[in-house]
Amino acid sequence: MDTKSSNSKHSTIGNDPATDTQKSYDRFAYVSKAGHFAGLMHGDSATMLKSLPNNVFNVAVTSPPYFWVRDYGYDDQLGHEETVDDYVDALMGVFDEVKRTLHPEGVFFLNIGDTYYSGNGQPHGSDPKCSSRNFFRKKVRPVDVSGWDIPKKSMIGIPWKVAFEMQQRGWTLRSSIIWNRCNAFVEPTARDRPYRQYEFVFMFSKSRFYSFDRSKLVEEDVWNIPIERNRRAKHNAAFPSELVRRCVEVASPPNGHVLDPFVGSGTSVLTSMAHHRNVVGIDMGDDYIDYVQGAIESEGYHSSSWGDLVESLQKPSPLWDEWAGNRQNFRKPGTAKKV
């Protein structure tokens, strides 16, 4: 972290709340003139989430590290597990906590992509456009080692493995939205298959009955949203703000509460702020947290106390009762519209 961590907005949790080890973790709270909070937590998501209260966030939206696709340049990053099962378990360590902190009527949007099993040994050549993908010229990834029980060159099917495990853990899978990345790059190595143009955005609910403002949906389950090419914080895997905006607007009232456990360059934080929500983002990357702190400050937010942020999260939005998405306001089929 940079020197920002020595000023008043910085609070150190102390020891790792899960293991009580010596490593300290940081969190930062900010508030806008209008009273909206933005919180950042610097550390491992599964651990950091444990210090957040139960049942508070209206919506969670995130894109975790995919399995052996990138290197974020530090130890203990998620996505570098030895097996797919270990990867799914690591994600569940985070998403079980997302579930606990999500409001009972809350919704979780999970953007997740797949990985190919190559089994071909260490790859050669390089991708000049994206240094964070070139690490596998140096490290041997498990997906490059032969001996798996699926044919070489297979897509592994990771998004669905994750979705099925989420169901086992009690999440209701309500939609498998296709995010059509209409301006996706060509894949130079994909000479004998179509380029990958879409990714999934799974929509999960914590309970069968939940809150959702359909009037804010701009497309049904195929979302045509270009990738944004302006790389904030040199992050190569940012999702577009339009994708976050849709998730936030359909699943939270104005002044509601948003969570992103893998915040990266801060797309979800900045988009939530622009749409008048309170938001908490978590990341383990020093440079990303540092960058997002600067971005929040340049939006005119001031440092605040973590206690005030938590207190605000524990109160529903003042517009919760009247919000069109509140499930109490849904009209049951066949009943008259309330006047």
Cβ 249 to ligand SAM shortest distance, Å: 17
Q: Look up residue 335 and give its amino acid.
A: T
Contact 258, 277 (CB under 8 A): yes
List 106, 142, 253, 285, residue binding ligand SAM (CB under 6 A) = 285
Map residues 224-253 to x or -, x wherever contact with ligand SAM holds by CB under 6 A: -----------x-xxx--------------
Compare residues 40 and 312 and give the one whose CB is closer to ligand SAM.
Answer: 40
- Give the integer Cα–Cα distance in Å for 329 and 321: 8
Q: In terms of DSSP bridges, do strands 116-117 and 102-112 run parallel, antiparallel, or are they unpaired?
A: unpaired
Cβ 149 to ligand SAM shortest distance, Å: 27
Residue 28 CA: distances (Å) to CA of 1, 58, 272, 304, 330:
12, 21, 17, 8, 37
Q: Which region among 112-120, 122-130, 209-217, 281-289 touches ligand SAM (by CB under 6 A)?
A: 281-289
Compare residues 116 and 323 and give the one whose CB is closer to ligand SAM.
Answer: 116
List 264, 296, 304, 320, residue binding ligand SAM (CB under 6 A) = 264
Considering only residues 12 to 51 of the shown chain, the ones binding ligand SAM according to CB under 6 A are 44-45
Coil, helix or strand for 124?
coil
- Give the integer Cα–Cα distance in Å for 70 and 217: 32
Residue in the structure block whose two tokens are 């900010």: 30
Coil, helix or strand for 302?
strand
List 28, 36, 63, 201, residue binding ligand SAM (CB under 6 A) = 63
Residues lying near ligand SAM in the complex (CB under 6 A) are found at 44-45, 63-65, 72, 77-78, 235, 237-239, 262, 264-265, 267, 282-285, 288
